Amino acid sequence: MSFPWLAVFGGFAAAPAAAAVMALWPWPKARAAKGGLDFTQTLAARHAALPMARLTLRDGTAQAFRWAAGPQGGPLVVMIHGSGWHGMQFEGLAAELSAVADVVVPDLRGHGLAPLRRGDVDYIGQFEDDLAELIAARAKPGQKVILLGHSSGGGLVVRFAGGAHRDLIAAAVILAPFLHHSAPTMRKNSGGWASVNLRRMIGLSILNSLRITGLNHLPVIRFAMPDAVLAGPLGATATLEYSYRLNLSFAPRANWQKDVAALPPFLLVAGQQDEAFVADRYEEVLSRLTSNGRYRLIDGVGHLGVVDAPQTAEVLREFIGGLE
C-alpha cells in the first residue's frame, strides 16, 4: 500500500530544510567587495558640526540625531543617510537647507554613534516606525514634512511612501536612490562596493515566504569602506555589514514599483557619473509609474559627490520653496 501523502509531506518539509541550509551556508572567503565608489572628495569635505540631540524610542533605544532650525513657517526636512554611513554625511547639505527649512538628520538604528548603537533592527520595517516617531516628536503642528534620502536612504524614502506612515510626509527628495536589485537602474554590486551572500539571501527569502523568521539576524551584505570612514570623529563609525532584516528595512519592498507609485510630489537628483546606479535611466523608469516626479542630473558628479554638490543644494532649495 502506498501513502502519497507522505511524499507530499516530505516535499513540504524538504523546502524549509533546504532553505535553512542555504541560509546557514558560510560566507564566501572574500569578506567584502573592493573599490567601486570614490570616497576621496566626501572624506575631504569639512563641515561645521550640527547640534546633537537624542530621542528615546518606544522600545527604550536612544536615537541620535543632528538638527538645524530654519525660518519661521518653513517645512521640516528629515534626512536619511546611505548604507554604512551615519548622519554626518549630511552636515554640509543640512546647513544649506536650513535656510529654507527645519532640518533633522538621524543616525538610523544600528548606525552612527557607537554608545547609542544596538547593531541591528528587531524586525523588518522598524526603520519606518522609528522615522514616524521622530517626525511626531519634531514636527510642529501643521508643519509640512519632507523626507529626503541618499542611495539606500533614498530607497527607504520610497519604502516609507508605500507604507503605513505615508500620510506623515507631504513631499520627498531622493538622491541617487536604490530601488531594487532587479531595477533597470542597478549596476552589478552597486558598482563594486557591496558584497552580497546571494545563497543566503535566497534561502532567507524562501524561509520568510513560509513565515519562518528565526534566521533573519544573519548578515547578508558587506561593504568596502576606507579606513578613514571607519575611524570617524566623535565615535561615529561605519556599519560594515547588514543582517537580512536590516537590509530589507533599508529598501523598497519586493514590489518596488508599487512603493514608487505611492510617492508624493518628489524630486530626484543624481550625478551623471554615478558609479553605483545608471543615473540616466531614473526618469525613464519612474515616470512610467508616477507623474509626481521632477528629475535633475548633475554633470561631473558621482554617487557620493551628489550630496555635497552646490547644484544639489540649489535645486533642493528651489524645490522646497516651491511647495504649496
The string of pLDDT tens digits covering residues 242-266 is 999 999 999 999 999 999 999 999 9
Closest Cα partner for 306 from 280, 276, 274, 284? 274
| pLDDT of amino acid 41 | 65
What does the block give as the cell for 306? 551628489
Tens-digit pLDDT profile for residues 215-246 = 999 999 888 776 555 555 545 677 888 999 99
The DSSP result for 222-259, as a single string, is EE---HHHHS-GGGEE---EEEHHHHHHTS--SSHHHH
* Fold of the domain built from segment(s) 4-321: Rossmann fold (3.40.50)
What is the enclosing helix (H) or strand (E) of 144?
none
Q: Quick check: 298 and 77 in contact, CB under 8 A?
A: no
Q: Is the pLDDT of residue 5 over 50?
A: no
**Quick one: DSSP state of residue 321?**
H
Phi and psi, residue 124, nearest 5°? -65, 125
Task: Tell me if the pTM is above 0.95.
Answer: no
Q: What type of residue is 203? A: G
| pLDDT of amino acid 71 | 95
More confident residue, 107 or 8: 107
| pLDDT of amino acid 160 | 98
Model confidence band, residue 75 (pLDDT cutoffs 50, 70, 90): very high
Residues contacting residue 22 through CB under 8 Å, at least 6 positions apart = 199, 200, 202, 203, 206
| pLDDT of amino acid 1 | 42
Q: How far is CA 41 from CA 37, 38, 89, 146, 302, in A?
A: 11, 8, 12, 27, 10
Rounded CA gap, 121 and 119, in Å? 7
Nearest 5°: the CA angle 165, 254, 130 is 30
| pLDDT of amino acid 245 | 95
Q: How far is CA 281 from CA 227, 287, 311, in A?
A: 32, 10, 20
